[in-house]
């Protein structure tokens, strides 16, 4: 009796290991580009339609992106420090991980946090606005709020933190300079 139950456990482990391995093989094979990366931003903001639209690979650099920037551009911006990244997500999300050097300016706490932001960042400066992903909408809201306050050199990284993280780029954790 005891022997039979161990045979059953062994068979269950074998079957389950088979399912997991087969799933991993199929999943990775079908999504090789996604798994291997580096990732391309999948959304961009079109001023004409006023909507976020998938970036077509064939369009490449010739896509007319008036407000949006893509992953490869963001890498350059971060390394050259030519713009200040501004994170529109909640403070908790920011603390969990954000773009290097990003400033936390949560849309939900905008009125409370803006005075500190404006004291440290001039209106003439250039800012890279982002949130979680192309679907979160917070970056657009933050850009609109900042424009009302007289900030006009804004770029939108619509694919956001998720895109940056999934591509394996370095992220910073904790409160950073902005929340201290």
Token reading at 37:
């990366």
- Using CB under 8 A, which of 1, 92, 112, 122 touches another protein? 92
* Prior bond of 54 cis (ω within 30°): no
The C-alpha atoms of residue 85 and residue 121 are separated, in whole angstroms, by 11
Q: Give the Å distances, CA to CA, from 105 to 59, 97, 132, 135.
A: 32, 14, 13, 18
The minimum distance between CB 144 and another protein, in angstroms, equals 22
Q: Is residue 85 near another protein by the rule CB under 8 A? A: no
Region of 13-21, 77-85, 100-108, 115-123 interacting with another protein (CB under 8 A):
13-21
Nearer to another protein (CB atom), residue 24 or residue 126: 24
| Maximum separation of any 2 CA atoms in the chain, in Å | 80
Residue where the block lists tokens 């997991």: 20
Residue 133 sits at φ, ψ, to 5 deg, of -155, 180
Q: Which is nearer to another protein, 32 or 51 (CB)?
A: 32
Contact 126, 155 (CB under 8 A): yes
How far apart are CB 170 and another protein at their closest, in Å?
11
Q: Which of 96, 108, 116, 153 binds another protein (CB under 8 A)?
A: 96
167 part of the interface to another protein, by CB under 8 A: yes
Give the interface with another protein as residue ranges (CB under 8 A): 8, 11-12, 14-16, 19-20, 22-24, 26-28, 30-31, 34-35, 37, 42, 92, 96-97, 132-133, 135, 161-162, 165-168
């Amino acid at each position: 009796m005891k022997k039979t139950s161990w045979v059953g456990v062994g068979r269950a482990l074998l079957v389950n290991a088979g399912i997991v391995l087969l799933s991993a093989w199929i999943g990775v094979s079908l999504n090789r580009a996604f798994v291997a990366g580096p990732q391309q931003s999948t959304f961009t903001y079109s001023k004409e339609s006023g909507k976020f639209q998938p970036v077509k690979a064939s369009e490449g650099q010739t896509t007319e992106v008036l407000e949006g920037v893509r992953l490869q551009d963001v890498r350059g911006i971060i390394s050259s420090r030519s713009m200040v990244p501004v994170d529109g997500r909640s403070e908790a999300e920011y603390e969990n991980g954000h773009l290097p050097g990003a400033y936390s300016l949560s849309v939900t706490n905008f009125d409370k946090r803006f005075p500190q932001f404006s004291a440290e960042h001039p209106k003439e400066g250039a800012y890279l606005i982002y949130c979680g992903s192309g679907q979160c909408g917070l970056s657009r809201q933050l850009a609109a709020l900042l424009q009302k306050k007289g900030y006009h050199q804004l770029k939108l990284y619509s694919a956001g933190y998720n895109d940056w993280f999934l591509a394996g780029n370095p992220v910073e954790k904790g409160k950073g300079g902005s929340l201290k």
